[in-house]
Amino acid sequence: MKKLSARRRHPLAAVVVLLLALAATGGLYAAFAPASKAQADETSQSLTIKEGRKLYEVGCASCHGTGGQGSSDGPSLVGVGSAAVDFQVGTGRMPAATSQGAQAPRKKPVYTQTQIDQLAAYVASLGAGPVVPTKQQYGPAGADVAKGGELFRTNCAQCHNFTGKGGALTEGKYAPTLEGVEPKHIYEAMQTGPQNMPSFPDTTMSSQNKKDIIAYLHAVDSSETTNPGGLELGGLGPVSEGLFAWIFGLGALIAVAVWVAARTAKAKKS
Ligand code: HEC
Ligand code: HEC
């Protein structure tokens, strides 16, 4: 007994206790803390999916089925990818008000972007599909506006009009105006081909070409840029503009001719 208490009072005892305590804390930390950053990301990813699943069950499952397998009121979402969800929910098309109607219209979005990301993560977990593009993919850096205009005229203008103002299709469907549509949503529309629009996957239209088209649409978007000059004339192209010049231009010339003739006649009289 005497021996033990003597040892306790040894000057190094405190240091030994401290070292033991530190080792124990370190061991506990190693045992309970996330082993790596990758694992931490994985848990936050699965949390996002879990949140998305909750939102999905409340807002979407009635039409798209409890596991996204689809129902008589909505198509299957397995494999549509996060890009389709980001587009459909981000432009307010989804949740649709009814499963009837020619086409789900664009409306004010119901969900925040965080919730949309969660919904998109959940739907993407059901089956791989087109992924939400990055800013680098749809941003203006390195885009060729002239090339974009050419691509737009050959691939999109037949439905959306030459300057993207939109137009009617058959059976009450329509290609909407592309003015004021976010670059990200334009990219996603091309990736996923909503409803009557064909899709333009990277295999048929490269990421660079999509970027060019977006830059072109931005350049002709009169809701962002002020029109560089002249009257708009419906953006219908050379025919209507030519006709306009013909009627008004010629009319003005005739008026001037009449005025000159009248003046010369008057001058002669006096
Ligand atoms: C009232 C029924 C209804 C509700 C509620 C609804 N949808 Fe839809 N959804 C549809 C129908 C019908 C279509 C297909 C036609 C269309 O796009 O208008 C569709 C299409 C989609 C598409 C496009 C699929 C594709 O093939 O590209 C996505 C993505 C989608 N819905 C996601 C959602 C999400 C996410 C929710 C919940 C926030 C939701 N929907 C809620 C009826 C619904
Ligand atoms: C066959 C006709 C057709 C062609 C070709 C077409 N689209 Fe569409 N597009 C549509 C229809 C129809 C919609 C509406 C879909 C909906 O509401 O779900 C649409 C919707 C869009 C939207 C969504 C606009 C919004 O209001 O949110 C964008 C962006 C778009 N198209 C871009 C393009 C681009 C770019 C091309 C060419 C690469 C193209 N489209 C080719 C028919 C077409």
When pLDDT is averaged across residues 104-133 and rounded to a whole number, the result is 96
Q: Is the four-CA dihedral 154, 155, 159, 160 of positive or negative sign?
A: negative
Ligand 1 atom 6, closest CA: 95
Residues 217, 148 contacting (CB under 8 angstroms): yes
Return the amino acid letter for 165: K
Pocket mutation for ligand 1, best pick of 62, 94, 98, 99 (most atoms within 8 Å of C-beta): 94
Say how far apart CA 136 and CA 77 lie, in whole Å. 27
pLDDT band at 163 (very low <50, low <70, confident <90, very high): confident
Q: Which of 163, 152, 126 is nearest to 52 (CA)?
A: 126
**What integer pLDDT is reported at residue 263 of this predicted model?**
84
When pLDDT is averaged across residues 138-157 and rounded to a whole number, the result is 96
User: Does the pLDDT of residue 133 top 70, yes or no?
Assistant: yes
User: Does the pLDDT of residue 187 top 60, yes or no?
Assistant: yes
Say how far apart CA 62 and CA 95 lie, in whole Å. 10
Tens of pLDDT, residues 4-58: 555 556 777 777 677 777 777 766 666 666 556 667 777 888 999 999 999 999 9
Q: Name the percent of the chain lying above pLDDT 70.
A: 80
Burial (Cβ within 10 Å: 0-12, 13-18, ≥19) of residue 100: exposed
**What integer pLDDT is reported at residue 5 of this predicted model?**
55
Tens of pLDDT, residues 194-251: 999 999 999 999 999 999 999 999 999 876 555 555 555 555 555 555 666 667 777 7
Ligand that comes closest to the CA of residue 79: 1
Say how far apart CA 212 and CA 30 lie, in whole Å. 50
